[in-house]
Structure 1
Amino acid sequence: MAKGIHAQEALAFAARLKQALEAAGVRPSPAVVASEFNLRYWGKSITAHTARAWLAGVAIPMQDKIRTLSDWLHVNPDELRFGPRTVPALPADADIAQAPLSLQDREMLAQYLALPPARRKTVQEVVAALAVAAAHAPAGRR
């Protein structure tokens, strides 16, 4: 049973790694991944065979290598390793100030808070327009 769970985790990791590579504009090729990874990693370099195992869902890298991958690909290391954290929907009467925030949410808020007031207003208007559009969208398109 444990073997099946590990295999599923490795396949899921491979899918997330490929998605992160593609989002970063990097071809998900073992040779490219190994070469680019080795430029950034401070430890012993990896081979294309190792990168192939990651991409094929045969192996999951150790945490130090996941950290290097996530820094390179600009993704959250925990989400790269384990997948996106699901946050339960808040009840309508919930206090939004008590809502749990993901790392990406916190980073976005820090960037927002660093903006000058005029730029913040623009962001507020965009978010408000998106909220109105989402409220009026058909249920399958939200």
Structure 2
Amino acid sequence: MDEKQQFSERLKAAMAVAGLEARPAVLEKLFNLHYRGTPVTYQGVRRWLTGLSLPEQDKLELLADLLGTDADVLRYGNKKRGQVAERKAGWTETTNIDDRLAIELFLRLPQRSRQAVRQVIQALADKLP
């Protein structure tokens, strides 16, 4: 297995540990929410996941951060084969990609809009049994 294929396997494993489906559309959406450069394409992400290409270093570092792992481990692997880096503290296992995307979008809102959203959430929570 060549280095691109090995990276692909580590990327898919890191996505699974992060609670994400190993699908290009999922990773593309999450990645582009955070990347400050030119957005990656669906085809580019698909190439990472199928072992046809490797991301550039800045993209690799962001991928690792988003997936809660180390960039070197994601790129080169651990000393023990097949081992995925321990997930960094962050999202709980109960949040899914939709929850994370909603929170990321919430954080982009202006303060006044955030307050309105918090009030709606509080009103809904007050109705819980």
Q: By the TM > 0.5 criterion, same fold?
A: yes
**Over 4 Å off, 4+ runs:** none
Q: Which runs of 5+ in 1 are unaligned?
A: 1-6, 87-102, 108-142
Tell me which residue corresponds to 1:55.
Answer: 49
Counting only pairs closer than 5 Å after superposition, residues 15-54 of structure 1 correspond to structure 2 as 15-54=9-48
Residue identity matched to 2:51: G
Number of paired residues? 83
Distance 1:61 1:77 in 2: 11
Distance 2:22 2:69 in 1: 16
Matched, 1:82 2:76: yes
Instruction: Using the aligned pairs only, state the percent identity.
Output: 39
**Of Structure 1 and Structure 2, which has the larger fraction of its residues in helix?**
1
Q: Which has the larger radius of gyration?
A: 1
Equivalent positions of 1:1-142 (< 5 A) are: 8-85=2-79
Cα RMSD after superposing both structures:
1.9
Look up the equivalent residue of 1:54 and give its one-letter code. W
Which one scores higher on RCO, CA 8 angstroms, separation ≥ 6?
Answer: 2
How high is the TM-score relative to the length of structure 2?
0.60
Give me the whole-angstrom Cα distance separating, in 2, the residues matched to 1:73 and 1:33.
Answer: 10
Cα deviation per residue 1:16-51 (whole Å; 9 max; x = unaligned)?
000000000011111111111001111110011001
TM-score by length of 1: 0.55
Structure 2 gaps of 5+ residues are 89-129
